[in-house]
């Protein structure tokens, strides 16, 4: 008999649209108009399948024009967060007994519907977080990939697991879910990471509270609606947007919460890790924390590199989605022998970057996500102007949206603040390395270890980087962004997180525990 997994087509990544096809362009234009016509809609909490409107609202603003309210999401109180935990605890009793086949089927259905409505989701991301068309489509393609990939992974883990046979006994090992989890995603991959973290937890048999980022609560509300539409039972995913300090801490510290799946900044991740480590009265387990955190990612350009290719890779990695990717290149570490040539060529390349409303397809860069990001990135730019030589950008564009120029600062000391701290915006530091040894030393000199890239034509340098460049995702002669689900399992070392790999074969294990059963033959 063939297993369910064998009957399902092998996983394949969605192709990201480049919008060269006029039909795609027309569909995206129509989706942008359609989403715009729904601006200002209200999105309730969802607790045990019940929709609850609260007086207090989270306003999702269009960062390209913050006078436009993309949507108003209800904001959960402490009592509502507690009732969501109760609902998830109750739902777990039945959900944990559903088969992996049934759970996976919900994800396959959700993926199919998301694919059908892809442009609408793309358009929402353009308005809610300021993604260009291509970036928005990449995010939604990745969300679909996560649904498809984790569904197959759940089926794989449900198959008989190998144990060493022994005479006189029958032994088996099965993976069972953990319990109730808190899902706390960031806004920057507002579709992909939010959907991926939620899907991984529930397809493994857990029930969850989804607390989205306040900057991207509408896309999360759409996703929760989608899961209900495909029949995911009430209480499996409870939607509780709200303040991190008010309900976030309460949820993380609650004794009925079994695990926390977090993606976001180092500061919040460490806070959650600390809080989760305290045992609350009545708590029966040690909480598991999966934390994927920040980065300070470098592209090393060796003296023997193809300089033009490196310039292109650095520009795309640094300024795609305004540098607001955890994988974004924020440091180019360039060999002294080609340094001047690289700086000059990069300056020319960055000057060609178009910045403006991402709803207009002509713009490569949109706004940064909100006013506080604008402020903190601008502060870093001022620091950078003192720490190095400004060669491009350095200021705000216009006064309406949160637009910043792509900013490049050369001659930065490896220990300067803009070389060490995560800025999370369109700011690139260029650092001169004496030679390859020095470049490797600089590449590893931060507390992070997320992504990195090396441009070189020398196999021995590639071999050395494989050993020495301490990052979770290392690339050669290509950009440092754009990891594909299944192809480039993603996640970093050190202060970049708990060493997990989203979109990889180990990921679902983070949401399960193994039970061994032995029977005398
Ligand atoms: P953030 O840390 O500000 O927020 C992340 C999430 O935590 C949000 O949902 C927020 O509402 C919530 N939160 C805040 N305080 C909380 C609390 N006390 N309790 C519970 N939840 C709380 O991060 P962000 O600005 O949304 O995202 C950007 C950061 O995410 C960057 O540092 C980036 O590098 C990182 N990131 C990492 C990865 C990765 O895979 N390693 C991927 C994407 C983003």
83 — alpha (psi -120 to 50), left (phi > 0) or beta?
Answer: alpha
Residues in contact with ligand 1 (CB, 6 Å cut-off): 184-189, 193, 212-214, 244-245, 248-249, 252, 263-265, 268, 271-272, 292-295, 326, 422, 424, 450, 490-492, 496-497
pLDDT digits (tens, 9 = 90+) for 213-266: 999 999 999 999 999 999 999 999 999 999 998 999 999 999 999 999 999 999
* Dihedral, 230, 503, 60, 358 alpha carbons, nearest 10: -110
Cα(482) to centroid of ligand 1, in Å? Answer: 19
Locate the ligand 1 atom nearest the alpha carbon of residue 496 and give its number.
41
The answer on pLDDT for 499 being more than 60 is: yes
Identify the pLDDT of residue 2.
Answer: 62
Catalytic residue list contains 135: no
Q: Can you give the pLDDT at residue 207?
A: 99
Give the pair of three-digit tokens for residue 333. 């570490």
In angstroms, the Cα distances linking 503 to 170, 263, 326 are: 33, 14, 15
Q: Please, which pLDDT band fits residue 7 given cuts at 50, 70 and 90?
A: confident
* pLDDT tens-digit series, residues 336-376: 999 999 999 999 999 999 999 999 999 999 999 999 999 99
Task: Place 6 in a pLDDT band, splitting at 50, 70 and 90.
Answer: confident
Half-sphere exposure (Cβ direction) of 72: Cα atoms closer than 13 Å: 10
pLDDT of residue 517: 98
Q: Which atom of ligand 1 is nearest to the CA of 267?
A: 2
Pairing state of beta strands 288-292 and 257-263?
A: parallel
The pLDDT tens digits of the residues spanning 166-177 come to 999 999 999 999
Query: What are 83-107's pLDDT values in tens digits?
Result: 999 999 999 999 999 999 999 999 9
Give how far Cα 449 sits from Cα of 220, 293, 444, 452, 474, Å.
28, 10, 8, 8, 10
SS (H, E, C) 55-121: CCEEEEEECCEEEEEEEEEECCCHHHHHHHHHHHHHHHHHHCCCCHHHHHHHHHHHHHHHHHCHHHH
Residues 4 and 486: their CA atoms lie apart, in Å, by 20
Q: What is the mean pLDDT of the chain?
A: 97
Catalytic residue among 326, 329, 387, 422: 326
pLDDT digits (tens, 9 = 90+) for 18-42: 999 999 999 999 999 999 999 999 9
Ligand 1 atom, smallest distance to 422 CA: 32
pLDDT at 126: 98
Domain 22-293+499-520 fold is Aldehyde Dehydrogenase; Chain A, domain 1 (3.40.605)
Q: How many helices (H) and strands (E) does the chain have?
A: 16, 23
Q: Annotated catalytic, 326? A: yes
Which of 268, 269, 275 most suits a substitution to test ligand 1, by most atoms within 8 Å of the C-beta? Answer: 268
Report whether pLDDT(477) > 90: yes
Task: Report how far ligand 1's centroid is from the alpha carbon of 293 (Å).
Answer: 7
Beta carbons within 8 Å of 263's beta carbon, 6+ residues apart: 184, 185, 186, 193, 197, 291, 292, 293
Domain ranges of the chain: 22-293+499-520, 297-484
Instruction: Report how far ligand 1's centroid is from the alpha carbon of 365 (Å).
Output: 22
Distance 327 CA to ligand 1 centre (A): 14
- Number of alpha carbons in the 13 Å side-chain half-sphere of residue 125: 28
Tokens 């929709």 belong to residue = 51
Q: Is the confidence at residue 139, as pLDDT, over 60?
A: yes
When pLDDT is averaged across residues 122-128 and rounded to a whole number, the result is 98
What span, in angstroms and rounded, lies between the C-alpha atoms of 360 and 352?
16
pLDDT at 1 over 70: no
Per-residue confidence (pLDDT) for residue 210, from 0 to 100 = 98
The correct answer on CATH 3.40.309.10 for the domain covering 297-484 is yes
> What's the token pair of residue 173?
């090992």
- State which ligand 1 atom lies nearest to the alpha carbon of 272: 19
Place of tokens 């993926």: 111
CA of 135 from ligand 1 middle (Å) equals: 19
First-to-last alpha carbon distance for the chain, in angstroms, is: 25
pLDDT of residue 35: 98
Q: What is the mean pLDDT of residues 49-56?
A: 98
d(CA 263, CA 196): 11
CA of 515 to the centre of ligand 1 (A): 32
Q: Which atom of ligand 1 is nearest to the CA of 292?
A: 41
Query: Is residue 3 over pLDDT 80?
Result: no
- The catalytic position among 128, 292, 387, 422 is 292
Q: Which of 265, 402, 473, 488 to mutate to test the pocket of ligand 1 (most atoms within 8 A of CB)?
A: 265
The region of weakest confidence among 3-17, 172-186, 263-277, 440-454 is 3-17
Q: What is the mean pLDDT of residues 130-134?
A: 98
Buried b (16+ CB within 10 A) or exposed e, 93-105: eebbeeebeebbb
Identify the residue whose C-alpha is closest to ligand 1 atom 9: 213
Q: Which two tokens stand for residue 45?
A: 């909490």
Q: Is the pLDDT of residue 5 over 90?
A: no
């Amino acid at each position: 008999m063939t297993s369910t997994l064998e009957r399902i087509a092998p996983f394949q990544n969605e192709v990201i649209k480049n919008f060269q096809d006029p039909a795609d362009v027309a569909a995206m234009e129509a989706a942008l108009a359609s989403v715009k016509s729904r601006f200002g809609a209200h999105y309730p909490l969802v607790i045990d399948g019940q929709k609850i409107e609260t007086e207090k609202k989270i306003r999702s603003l269009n960062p390209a024009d913050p006078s436009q309210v993309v949507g108003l999401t209800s904001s959960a109180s402490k009592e509502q967060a507690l009732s969501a935990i109760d609902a998830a605890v109750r739902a777990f009793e039945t959900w944990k007994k559903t088969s992996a086949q049934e759970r996976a089927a919900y994800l396959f259905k959700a993926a199919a519907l998301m694919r059908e409505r892809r442009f609408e989701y793309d358009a929402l991301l353009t308005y809610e977080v300021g993604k260009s068309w291509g970036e928005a489509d990449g995010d939604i393609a990745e969300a679909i990939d996560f649904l498809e990939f984790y569904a197959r992974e759940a089926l794989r883990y449900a198959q008989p697991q190998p144990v060493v046979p022994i005479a006189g006994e029958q032994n088996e090992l099965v993976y069972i879910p953990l319990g109730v989890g808190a899902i706390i995603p960031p806004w920057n991959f507002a579709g992909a990471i939010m959907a991926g973290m939620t899907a991984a937890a529930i397809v493994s048999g857990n029930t969850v509270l989804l607390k989205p980022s306040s900057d991207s609560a509408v896309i999360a509300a759409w996703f929760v609606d989608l899961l209900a539409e495909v029949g995911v039972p009430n209480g499996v995913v409870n939607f509780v947007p709200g303040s991190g300090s008010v309900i976030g801490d309460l949820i993380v510290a609650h004794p009925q919460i079994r695990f926390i799946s977090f993606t976001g900044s180092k500061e919040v991740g460490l806070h959650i890790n600390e809080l989760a480590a305290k045992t609350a009265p009545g708590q029966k387990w040690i909480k598991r924390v999966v934390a994927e955190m920040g980065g300070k990612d470098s592209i090393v350009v060796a003296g023997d590199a193809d300089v033009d290719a490196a310039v292109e890779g650095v520009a795309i990695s640094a300024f795609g989605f305004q540098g607001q990717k955890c994988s974004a290149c924020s440091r180019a570490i360039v060999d002294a022998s080609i340094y001047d040539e690289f700086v000059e060529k990069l300056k020319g390349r960055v000057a060609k970057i178009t910045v403006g409303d991402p709803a207009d397809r002509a713009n490569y860069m949109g706004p940064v996500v909100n006013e506080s990001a604008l402020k903190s990135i601008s502060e870093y730019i001022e620091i950078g102007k003192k720490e190095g030589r400004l060669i491009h950008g350095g200021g705000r564009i216009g006064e309406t949206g949160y637009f910043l120029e792509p900013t490049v600062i050369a001659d930065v000391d490896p220990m300067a603040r803009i070389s060490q701290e995560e800025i999370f915006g369109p700011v690139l530091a260029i650092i001169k390395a004496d030679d390859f040894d020095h470049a490797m030393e600089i590449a590893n000199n931060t507390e992070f270890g997320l992504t990195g890239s090396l441009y070189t034509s020398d196999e021995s340098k590639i071999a050395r980087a494989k050993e020495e460049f301490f990052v979770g995702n290392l690339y050669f002669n290509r950009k440092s962004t754009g990891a594909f689900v299944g192809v480039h399992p993603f996640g970093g070392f050190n202060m970049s997180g708990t060493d997990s790999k989203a979109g990889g074969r180990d990921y679902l294990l983070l949401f399960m525990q193994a039970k061994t059963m032995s029977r005398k033959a």
